[in-house]
Amino acid sequence: MMRPLDPDALSSEEARVGLCLHCHEARQLVNPRGNAFYQCRRGQNDPRFRDYPGLPVRECSGFVRREPTSGRPGAN
């Protein structure tokens, strides 16, 4: 099921990144220049998903909300 974001209830980072910011399947990667990229782990095995989706992701059938432990994708 696609899960849309409510654009009126977003922080600036949520608006820039979208669902990936809170997705269990997303991993944040930072290159040596400090640029952040979000990798979708579903993309490694499922052709319906891109490895590095265009941001912001507003709807995604593979979205799984991450447990609120660290606040950053890939930090777990």
Delimit the domains of the chain by residue range.
1-6+23-64
Task: Write down the pLDDT at residue 30.
Answer: 95
Q: What is the pLDDT of residues 36-56, one digit of tens each?
A: 999 999 999 999 999 999 999
Q: Is 29 helix (H, G, I), strand (E, B) or coil?
A: strand
pLDDT of residue 40: 98
For residue 38, report the phi and psi dihedrals to the nearest 5 degrees. Answer: -115, 120
Torsion, CA 63, CA 64, CA 68, CA 73, rounded to 10: -60
Token pair for residue 50? 């891109």
Is the sign of the CA dihedral 44, 28, 66, 20 positive or negative? negative
Q: What is the value of pTM for the model shown?
A: 0.73
pLDDT number for residue 5 = 57
The parts of the chain modelled with pLDDT lower than 50 are: 1, 76
